[in-house]
Amino acid sequence: MHTGATGPVARAMHGDILVVTIDNPPVNALGVDVRRGLTATIDAAGADTAVKAVLIVGSGKTFIGGADIREFGKPPMTPFLPDVCNGIEACSKPVIAVIHGAALGGGLEIALAAHYRLALPAAKLGLPEVALGLLPGAGGTQRTPRLIGAAAALDMMLSGRHVGAAEAAKLGLVDRVVDGADPLAAGLAYAQELVQGGAPVRRTRDATQLADTAAQRAAIDSARAETAKKSRGLFSPLKIVDAVQGALELPFDEGQALERKLFLECLDSPQRAGLVHAFFAERETARAPETRSAKPRPIERIGVVGGGTMGAGIAVAVLDAGLPVTMIERDDEALARGRKHVEKVYDGLIAKGRITPEAKNATMARFNGSTSYDALAQADLVIEAVFEDMAVKHAVFAELDRVCKPGAVLATNTSYLDIDEIAAAISRPQDVVGLHFFSPANIMKLLEIVVPAKVADDVVATAFDLAKKLRKVPVRAGVCDGFIGNRILAVYGQAAHAMMEDGASPYQIDKALRDFGYPMGPFQVSDLAGGDIGWATRKRRAPTRDPRARYVQIADRLCERGWFGQKTGRGYYLYPDGARVGTPDPEVEAIIDAERARAGALSGKAPRSFSDAEIVRRYLAAMINEGANVVHQKIALRPLDVDVTFVHGYGFPRYRGGPMQYADTVGLPTILADIREFAKEAPLFWQPSPLLVELVDKGANFASLNQSA
Ligand code: 3HC
Ligand code: NAI
């Protein structure tokens, strides 16, 4: 056997054991060169009498991160991954996989095709293809259930979750777990033991965990029923169940042919394109220009000013990241309330059995509260989350300016206020940045990092570093009213309200958008968040509203009655006896009718009906058009930043990739034609974005702008 390398696959003899090292940074993905190298190496090993066993290891911290996602959607190149896996399984010498880090998707499928599997404590095994709109397509749907049974295999494939070494051993996914961090040493010891013991070639295709057919069929039936309910609108989950049923009913080769057919169907689906777009986009947004040009400042101690909805949620997010937090409130009573908000989150987790009371106490030991700003003297970063009122913000920042040490990062969680103005009022505007969390702040993944004119690059880099520590998805935004998300929301919110006044019921609008893929419609969201929040914003903006612009008053009529949504028992929907799911309210429909009549008397227009398709077209066109404006004005760096904002902050269906990716799949000329048609009746609202017009003129799409920033 020649030692050396075939592309990113290196071979070396250690005695009579051939060590095959996959070295394809950053995650050893199975690109075409790796597939070629593996095939050539396994073929050669089979033919070489000096080789008694083959050890497959991954270089770096990953075993194998899966198929190369960048190849999806491009012309396929041989050898295909299922054939590589079959070649490994067919090898006449025992093949051993040593899993010391992530073995995901195709990476786990390689390991399953090997004859023995050894795991180190840091191993992470998973079949996350479902998150990319796919199914395990290299034998995973056939080998996994044969090895660990249908129920466990379906759980892994439908959830995409990562399984640690101990659980993998318990499931029967790996043969042994050994301590240590050196995969080569551990693997060689195991391989020598197998060779000396005369261990046979043992193929997963012959494993017998599917033998009890009745029990396995029951597991498949129940997964199918559950999936139909839970994965509404998703394409690949039911295909996964079909493939596992094939594993039960068909010989291995026929099952694999079925898997291949289903895999190719998934690969071709727009959902796969949307989910892969989301995967790369959310990694891309974590890299802003400032993260390349500057080093983050160290952050060990964090302060939060305000212990209301957001301040408490942010404090939990900080505590969950293992960092200490100091909360400042106005007085003892407010501070006690703030602390209670924080504790309530952990009490909820205790009630659900997710943490122990001791764990809560250990976490709360990192929480400090004070009514004196002096407690922030040593903080490295402070996040202000007090009332949305410029005078209050100025007062808080003046205090921070007074007490904080030089170099401390001073952040505001404001939703709409001008951060340049907040920064300009203190002596260190270079340290002021926006950190716009979403409610509930300990759960929602999105963090808009708002970059004012005078902020230093290393402060922005620090904000991105904080996002990573808090496990948030950061998106860089410029200063404007509402930044990326709330600014666009305001526009498509108006489109929804206009449709309501023109004849569509809020219940129909909600349903049309749920059918599009949203977990909830906009009026359900308003009821959940509380109608009073939007009402306060509308009142604040009233003096600057364009008098020519259409203003639908239905929401105000509900708020004037104190109908703010779930918390008041009624909003657009009724929530009798604290119900969490609302029912349509005839009184609301009557109020809407009266408003339609009032508006109609002025405009001369009668209410009309809307199809669900028209509702979606108008709602999305408004969102996409304002998204284009936000990119055009450089509030968002690229269209993909808008996509990530909406997927992680506003419930936009991830499988559609985001509004701008969706626009590309519909076609920008179609979107522009819609806007021009809608503009015939409402030219002030439906003004095509200059960027949209420019792209259509050039025959380009939003994706063409994603590489440029
Ligand atoms: N293919 C191509 N690139 C990949 C990749 C893959 N499978 N997995 C990760 N990358 C890239 C990322 O895009 C990123 O690139 P960048 O630096 O240019 O942004 C880089 O590798 C590092 O990724 P992360 O930032 O995510 O690094 P982490 O260390 O945080 O996580 C990981 C590593 C756990 C491997 C994580 O990247 C991950 O979960 N990757 C996806 C795994 C996956 O879904 N595999 C299944 C693929 S589908 C498949 O195998 C089909 C088969 O069944 C036929
Ligand atoms: P809230 O009213 O629930 O909490 C505000 C808290 O700030 C109160 O506990 C109050 O006692 C405290 N406070 C007021 N003045 C203070 C001062 N001078 N010093 C110390 N504490 C003071 O408000 P909420 O919803 O938490 O909002 C806070 C900020 O976060 C606002 O700027 C808001 O726009 C923003 N925001 C709100 C979101 C939401 O969904 N509620 C989402 C994202 C941002």
Cβ–ligand 1 distance for 135 under 6 Å, the answer: no
Question: Is there a contact between 315 and 346 (Cβ–Cβ < 8 Å)?
Answer: no
Cβ–ligand 1 distance for 149 under 6 Å, the answer: no
pLDDT tens-digit profile of 206-226? 999 998 889 999 999 999 999
What is the structure's pLDDT at 165?
98
The residue annotated as part of the active site, out of 129, 282, 284, 399, is: 129
**Beta-sheet strand order (sheet of 176-177):** 4-6, 9-14, 17-22, 53-58, 95-99, 116-119, 176-177
As a whole number of angstroms, the distance between CA 70 and CA 404 comes to: 46
Cβ–ligand 2 distance for 411 under 6 Å, the answer: no
Considering only CA atoms, which residue is closest to atom 10 of ligand 1?
27
Residue 412 CA: which ligand is closest?
Answer: 2
Per residue, what are the HEC states of 5-74? EECCEEEEEECCEEEEEECCCCCCCECHHHHHHHHHHHHHHHHCCCCCEEEEEECCCCCECCECHHHCCC
The per-residue pLDDT of the chain, averaged, comes to: 96
This model of the complex carries an ipTM of 0.96
Phi and psi (nearest 5°) for 42? -65, -40
| 394 alpha carbon – ligand 2 mean position (Å) | 14
What is the structure's pLDDT at 708?
55
pLDDT tens-digit profile of 267-311? 999 999 999 999 999 999 999 999 999 999 999 999 999 999 999
Domains of the chain are 4-268 (3.90.226.10), 299-477 (3.40.50.720), 505-608 (1.10.1040.50)
Locate the ligand 2 atom nearest the alpha carbon of residue 386 and give its number: 7
Cβ–ligand 1 distance for 69 under 6 Å, the answer: yes
pLDDT tens-digit profile of 663-683? 999 999 999 999 999 999 999
pLDDT band at 423 (very low <50, low <70, confident <90, very high): very high
As a whole number of angstroms, the distance between CA 174 and CA 158 comes to: 20
| 278 alpha carbon – ligand 2 mean position (Å) | 31
pLDDT tens-digit profile of 494-512? 999 999 999 999 999 999 9
Upper half-sphere CA count for residue 186 (Cβ side, 13 Å): 19
Cβ–ligand 1 distance for 105 under 6 Å, the answer: yes
pLDDT band at 112 (very low <50, low <70, confident <90, very high): very high
Is 109 a known active-site residue? yes
Residue 136 CA: which ligand is closest?
Answer: 1
59-93: b (≥16 Cβ within 10 Å) or e: beebbbbbbbbebbeeeeeeebbbebbbbbbebeb
Cβ–ligand 1 distance for 522 under 6 Å, the answer: no
Question: Is there a contact between 620 and 607 (Cβ–Cβ < 8 Å)?
Answer: no
pLDDT tens-digit profile of 500-548? 999 999 999 999 999 999 999 999 999 999 999 889 888 988 998 999 9
Is 129 a known active-site residue? yes
Site to probe by mutation for ligand 1, drawn from 22, 24, 27 as the one with most ligand atoms within 8 Å of Cβ, is: 27
Cβ–ligand 1 distance for 70 under 6 Å, the answer: yes
Cβ–ligand 1 distance for 126 under 6 Å, the answer: no
Burial of 583 from C-beta contacts in 10 A (0-12 / 13-18 / 19+): exposed
Locate the ligand 2 atom nearest the alpha carbon of residue 334 and give its number: 11
| 96 alpha carbon – ligand 2 mean position (Å) | 57
| 125 alpha carbon – ligand 1 mean position (Å) | 13
Cβ–ligand 2 distance for 582 under 6 Å, the answer: no
What is the structure's pLDDT at 212?
84
For the residues 146-153, what does the mean pLDDT come to? 98
The residue annotated as part of the active site, out of 89, 109, 284, 399, is: 109
As a whole number of angstroms, the distance between CA 236 and CA 217 comes to: 20
pLDDT tens-digit profile of 553-591? 999 999 999 999 999 999 999 999 888 899 999 999 999
| 303 alpha carbon – ligand 2 mean position (Å) | 14
pLDDT tens-digit profile of 181-206? 899 999 999 999 999 999 999 999 99
What is the structure's pLDDT at 1?
61
As a whole number of angstroms, the distance between CA 668 and CA 688 comes to: 11
Locate the ligand 2 atom nearest the alpha carbon of residue 313 and give its number: 26
296 cis-preceded (ω within 30 degrees of 0): no
Locate the ligand 1 atom nearest the alpha carbon of residue 124 and give its number: 34
Q: Estimate to the nearest angstrom the gap between the alpha carbon of 216 and the chain centroid.
A: 32
